[in-house]
Structure 1
Amino acid sequence: MLSSLRAAAFGLVLVASPAVAGPQFVDGTGFAVSGYDVVAYRDLEQVPVGQSQPAGIPGRADITAEYNGAVFAFASEENRDRFLADPAFYAPAYDGHCAYGVAKGGKVPGNPNLWRIVDDRLYLNITENVVTFWEEDIPGNLTLSEGNWTGLEPDAASDRVIPQFTSDAPVDG
């Protein structure tokens, strides 16, 4: 009963709230990173550059934490607690926007299934084609991204949808 009330209340908040919350990219799910568990990426086996990463792990709507003006969902309470201990470590770079997009001077959404951890930071990209361009020169693109981010960061979060992406998250547990 309580989770039904919580879900209903959350639904009302979604209807009354815009799709973005602060600088963090938030899509139509109402969650940062489309409701995927940002801690779980650290437990997935990362593949070599040029190969597709494993899919992200969907979070649950009833296991959440707020950070950077957005709600993050988690697959387990343990992951939520790990996140709360150091949210800046787990949150994606560039407020969940595409790393290559930032390198090119703009804010576009990041797809939670197109990820890579580099130097202990989680980066997202928008499409598989973009991943190919980003991976051609990750260090060079990160240098560009870091240089561009200070000017872009104050801008509003992207309000675009992620192309060819259907979210499986968050799910009620």
Structure 2
Amino acid sequence: MKKLLFIITILCTLSVFSQRESKRMTHFNLEKNVAIQGYDPVAYFKQGKAVKGKKEITASHEGVVYYFSMPVNKEYFLKNPSKFEPQYGGWCAFAMGDSNEKVSINPETFKINNGKLYLFYNAFFNNTLKSWNKEETGLMMKADTNWSKRIK
């Protein structure tokens, strides 16, 4: 009887984790399950710039795959994944705050504020980072609210 209860508990736990991973993946900005178009999330913080990751150096956090430019960045990430993940699932921070929309990003257009990575759309003469900077506090509050409603 104890074995049966143990097995049921394990299966339920795995099911909950699987559902959370699946839900997370539906909300993240991914291309073939890879976040940030293959850019290294740690490089934004440690190198201060966007650096393309390598397919050979990968790690996954709750179903979302990240590429890294060097093994040490992967190690940093694995110690504290949530510290390095982009805000709002890697969608454009400005669009999330301004209109609650999931808009693609240019991984080379970013900002780090209070230890968090924000990514922005930047194409066709429309750099949303500039607009974000004009109203950052208000847009961030709206984006935080909009994102938390999406991922519930």
Query: Percent of aligned pairs with the same residue?
Result: 29
Secondary structure class of the residue paired with 1:146: helix
Q: Is the 8 A contact 1:22 1:69 kept in 2?
A: no
Instruction: Structure 2 unaligned segments of length 5 or more: list them.
Output: 1-23
For the residues of structure 2 that align with 1:97 and 1:87, how far apart are their CA atoms?
17
TM superposition outliers: structure 1 runs of 4+ over 6 Å: none
> How far is 1:101 from its partner?
1.0
Q: Which structure dedicates a bigger proportion of its chain to helix?
A: 2
2:100 aligned with 1:95, yes or no? no
User: TM (normalized to structure 2)?
Assistant: 0.75
How many residue pairs are counted as aligned between the two chains? 125
Query: Helix, strand or coil: the match of 1:94?
Result: helix
- Note the C-alpha offset of 1:111: 2.0
Kindly indicate whether residue 104 of structure 2 is the aligned counterpart of residue 109 of structure 1. Answer: yes
| Higher-Rg member (1/2) | 2
> Residues of 2 paired with 1:148 and 1:70: CA distance?
21
Q: Which has the higher strand share?
A: 2
More contact order relative to length (CA 8 Å, sep ≥ 6): 1
Q: State the partner residue of 1:26.
A: 30
> 1:92-142 deviations in whole A, cap 9, x for unaligned?
001101101110211112321010000110000112521111111111110
Paired amino acid for 2:41? V
Mind listing any 5+ residue stretches in structure 1 that lack a counterpart? Answer: 1-19, 46-53, 155-173
